[in-house]
């Protein structure tokens, strides 16, 4: 394989905005293996077609889809990614996050209401020594 037709790990990093360490991590997971590794230097090289995989990986990262599941959406033999399944899974992840955030927001609103009620109650109560007086 000729290196001149490939992108170095640094070139792919510049094109995609993905850190070089991430490419090494993806390789360790087996989700993005270099098209060629120079046996003398150990340098990694990637085909331009692999940029599509990097884009899909960034999509997964942005949605917090675990990368260990990425191979479920990829077919190495055909060099394609099943974007429909990936988008469906991403939709499920985001929907679940929205539901969780809505629950947290409801809890915060209930807490805020309780705090406001407590403040009003406190403002209407005056403490003098051991005696508590309710202001009317």
Class of the CATH domain delimited by 3-124: mainly alpha
Instruction: Quote the pLDDT of residue 35.
Output: 92
pLDDT, mean over the chain: 86
Domain edges within the chain: 3-124
Instruction: Quote the pLDDT of residue 64.
Output: 85
Instruction: Quote the pLDDT of residue 24.
Output: 95
Q: pTM for the full model? A: 0.68
Instruction: Quote the pLDDT of residue 133.
Output: 61
**Interval 10-28: pLDDT, tens:** 999 999 999 999 999 999 9
Partner residues linked to 37 by β-bridges:
44
Instruction: Quote the pLDDT of residue 81.
Output: 85
Q: How far is CA 35 from CA 22, 50, 116, in A?
A: 16, 8, 62
Residue numbers of the chain with a pLDDT score lower than 70: 1-2, 76-79, 123-136
- DSSP notation for 26-58: HHHHTSS--SEE-TTT--EEE-GGGHHHHHHHH
Instruction: Quote the pLDDT of residue 136.
Output: 56
């Amino acid at each position: 394989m000729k290196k001149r037709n490939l992108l170095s790990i640094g070139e792919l990093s510049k094109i995609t905005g993905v850190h070089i360490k991430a490419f090494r991590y993806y390789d360790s997971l087996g989700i993005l293996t270099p098209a060629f590794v120079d046996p003398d230097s150990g340098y990694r090289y990637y085909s331009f077609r692999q940029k599509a995989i990097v884009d899909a990986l960034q999509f997964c990262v942005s949605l917090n889809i675990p990368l260990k599941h990425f191979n479920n959406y990829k077919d190495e033999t055909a060099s394609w990614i099943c974007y429909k399944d990936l988008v469906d899974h991403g939709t499920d992840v985001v929907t679940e996050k929205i539901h969780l955030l809505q629950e947290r927001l409801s809890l915060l609103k209930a807490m805020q209401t309780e705090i406001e009620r407590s403040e009003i109650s406190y403002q209407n109560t005056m403490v003098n020594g051991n005696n508590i007086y309710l202001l009317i």
